[in-house]
Structure 1
C-alpha cells in the first residue's frame, strides 16, 4: 500500500459504539514550582468537535492536552469529560486516548500486536483483542499489513498504526499531540485530510495540538490560540484569520502586514479608515476614532506596474520570488515595507519596478481591537 493512500471509511469497519463526550476546562492552572505553564484557562469542546490548541513553543498547549489525558494533574481548577469531573482521576480512568508525536510504537511487535496491546493489557482475550485491532486497521486503510513490523512501514503508515491503536479502545475523547511533525510536507497535507475525514465520519471529539498555522486552519472546527500560558483568542479558522483579537493573533495566524492607520467617522458597524493617502471602509470592531493598527493580508494588496493613480499608493518592488502557484513580493511603500502575494501571474514584476498599490479586497484587512 502506498504511504499516501486514503484512510478507508467503507467496508466492514464499524464506528465506535461509545458516544462522543464534551471536554470542559474551568479556570485550570498548572504550575511547575514557580513556573506557571497554564494560567487560569477556561474553554469547552462540544461532543463530536475537533478543536485545535495552537501556539508557539512554550505557550502551554501541550501541557493543556496532557491535562486532558491525565498525564499531568491540574494545580487549580476543574476538568470535566462528558460532564464528569475527572480533575483528580488518573489517565487510566479518563477514557481518552492519545496519538503521540513520536508514534511510540513497540518495535518488537507486529502492527497487529501494537494495535491489540491496549485491549490485551485490559484483560480482553487475545482472539477478541486481535479482532478489535483488525477492525481498526481496516478503518485506517492498513488491512493486509498487520504482520509487518513498524520498521517496515513508511512514516505515514506508522502514523496510521498509532491512530488505530488509539481508536481500538473506543475512547470518548481522542487527543493528537503534533501528529504530523515527522512527515514531509506533501504527506502532512494528505494525512491531515485523512484525520479530518475520520473524525467527521466517526463523530469523534478531538483535541489537537500543533504549532503549524496552516495545519490548524485546515483541520479544525474551532481553534484556541494560546500565548504565554493563556488563551489569546478562540474562534473558527475564518474568525481568527479575518478578525484577529490582537496583534499577536494577527501576526501568528497566517501572514499579515501590521500597518498604522487612522480611524475617522463611524457609521453603524463600519468606519472610514485612512491608510496612507487612501480612505477605506472597514468594520470598526468596537475601536473608537484615532490611531489604529491594521492587519492587512498579503493577498488583499493589488500591485500594478507603473506609477500610482488616484486612490492608490506608489511603491517599488524590492524582491520577487516565484513559487509556482503564486509570486511573493517585498515592496517598499510610503506606509512601510509590504509583503504581497499574487496568484495566477506567470511572470514576476522585476525588482526595481515602480508599482501602484491598492486594497480592493477589504475583507482581507482588519482593524485590531486590542493593539
Structure 2
C-alpha cells in the first residue's frame, strides 16, 4: 500500500431516524494500522456506525474524523474508504479482473493501468491465475477474496467489513478470517469490522468495541473483555457466562473473600464492596466430577448433555441455580439424570463491578 493508514475518530456522534436513535453519543478512536471490531447483538447500532464511517449515513450530531481530517459532512465518494459488503456485491457478468478493475476504471484511469492495479491486488489476496473466471465459477471463500481485492485496489485509508463471513460455512469462516487478519497486518491497514459473532471478533481484533442499545458498553482488547467484563451484558455476550449471585464477605486489599452458596473463593474485587455481588463464571471454569472436591464443589444433576466433537456441553441443576458447563477433556459422557459434583476453579470467575 502506498498510502499511510489513517486513524478514525468519532466525537459524540449520534444518528437518529425520526424518533429512533440508532447511534447514541458514541466516541472512540481506531488507531492507524489496527483492526477494530464493532460487536453486538442485532439492532445495537454497529452497522449504522460502520455506515457513518463510510459516509453512507450522515451523522445527526457530532464529528467524524479520518486521518485527522473532518469528514462529517463529506459524501461516501469524497471519503477515502472502501467497504466489503456482506453480500460481496460482485457483478455476475464480469470476470474477476473486470470486477476488481471496475473502481479504478470508473475513476477515469486508463483501462490498461486499471487492469494492472487489479492484477496486483488479485495476487495479494491469493487468487492469481483466476483472473478470467466469472464469480459463479468461484467458491464462497474465493468470492469473498475478490470482494476484498476490489476494496483494496483503490488503496483506501480505511477498509470496512460488514459481516464479511456470514455467507460462509463454519470451516471456511475460520480460514477466511485468518486471511483477512494476515492481510490487514501485512499491508498495515486500518480496518473497522462489524460482526455479531463473538468468537470471530476475539480471533481477528486488536481491539473490540462492544455495543448495546446504540451505545458503547465497553472497549478493550479481546483478553480485557473476556477476563475483565465491565458489566453483566458484556460478561454474558463475550464468551458465555454463568451469572451467579454471591456475597463479598471480606475485603483483602484489591482482593476479597466471596461466598457462593457453600463455596468460598478469593477473587479480585474489581472495586466491589462488602455485600451482595454478581459473579460471571465461565463455562470452562467448571469441571464435572463424580467425587466431591472439598470446599470448591457443589452437588448437581445433569439436565442435558451435548457432544460437540471438540467438547461436551452440559446443563446442570444445582443449589446455585442452573449451570452451563463445557468439558474440553471429552471424558465419559454423563447422561441426563446423573448425580455429579461441579468443581469451581478460581481462574475464569470474575466479580462484576457494582
Residues 190-339 of structure 1 mapped to structure 2, 5 A cutoff = 190-307=175-292, 309-339=294-324
Question: Compared with structure 1, are the counterparts of its residues 104 and 290 closer, same or farther at alpha carbon in structure 2 (3 Å cutoff)?
Answer: same
- State the match for 2:34 in structure 1: 49
- State the match for 1:71 in structure 2: 56
Shift of 1:352: 2.2
- State the match for 2:69 in structure 1: 84
Residues 344-359 of structure 1 mapped to structure 2, 5 A cutoff = 344-359=329-344
- State the match for 2:135 in structure 1: 150
Deviation digits for residues 315-343 of structure 1 (CA, Å, limit 9, x no counterpart): 12222222111111111111001010111
Say if 2:264 and 2:295, in contact at 8 Å, map to a contact too. no
Deviation digits for residues 78-127 of structure 1 (CA, Å, limit 9, x no counterpart): 00000001101111111000000000111111110100011001111100
Question: Take 1:293 and 1:17, find their aligned partners in 2: how far apart are those partners?
Answer: 50
Deviation digits for residues 217-265 of structure 1 (CA, Å, limit 9, x no counterpart): 1100110000110000001111111111111111111111010000121
Say if 1:98 and 1:176, in contact at 8 Å, map to a contact too. yes
**Cα RMSD for the two superposed structures:** 1.1
Shift of 1:42: 0.1
Shift of 1:308: 6.2
1:363 and 2:332 correspond: no
Question: Take 1:308 and 1:241, find their aligned partners in 2: how far apart are those partners?
Answer: 26
Deviation digits for residues 34-69 of structure 1 (CA, Å, limit 9, x no counterpart): 111000000000000100000111110000000100
Of the candidates 94, 98, 105, which is equivalent to residue 90 of structure 2?
105
Shift of 1:268: 1.8
Question: Take 2:78 and 2:292, find their aligned partners in 1: how far apart are those partners?
Answer: 68
Question: Compared with structure 1, are the counterparts of its residues 368 and 310 closer, same or farther at alpha carbon in structure 2 (3 Å cutoff)?
Answer: closer
Question: Take 1:312 and 1:112, find their aligned partners in 2: how far apart are those partners?
Answer: 61
Shift of 1:363: 2.3
1:164 and 2:149 correspond: yes
Number of corresponding residues: 354
TM-score for both structures, normalised by structure 1: 0.94
Secondary structure, aligned partner of 1:363: coil
Deviation digits for residues 283-342 of structure 1 (CA, Å, limit 9, x no counterpart): 111111110111000000122114564442111222222211111111111100101011
Question: Take 1:271 and 1:126, find their aligned partners in 2: how far apart are those partners?
Answer: 68
Structure 2: 5+ residue runs without aligned partners?
A: none
Moved more, 346-355 or 82-91: 346-355
Question: Compared with structure 1, are the counterparts of its residues 227 and 311 closer, same or farther at alpha carbon in structure 2 (3 Å cutoff)?
Answer: closer
Question: Take 1:150 and 1:36, find their aligned partners in 2: how far apart are those partners?
Answer: 38
- State the match for 1:32 in structure 2: 17
Question: Take 2:98 and 2:338, find their aligned partners in 1: how far apart are those partners?
Answer: 63
Say if 2:296 and 2:344, in contact at 8 Å, map to a contact too. no
Say if 1:41 and 1:230, in contact at 8 Å, map to a contact too. yes
Secondary structure, aligned partner of 2:114: helix
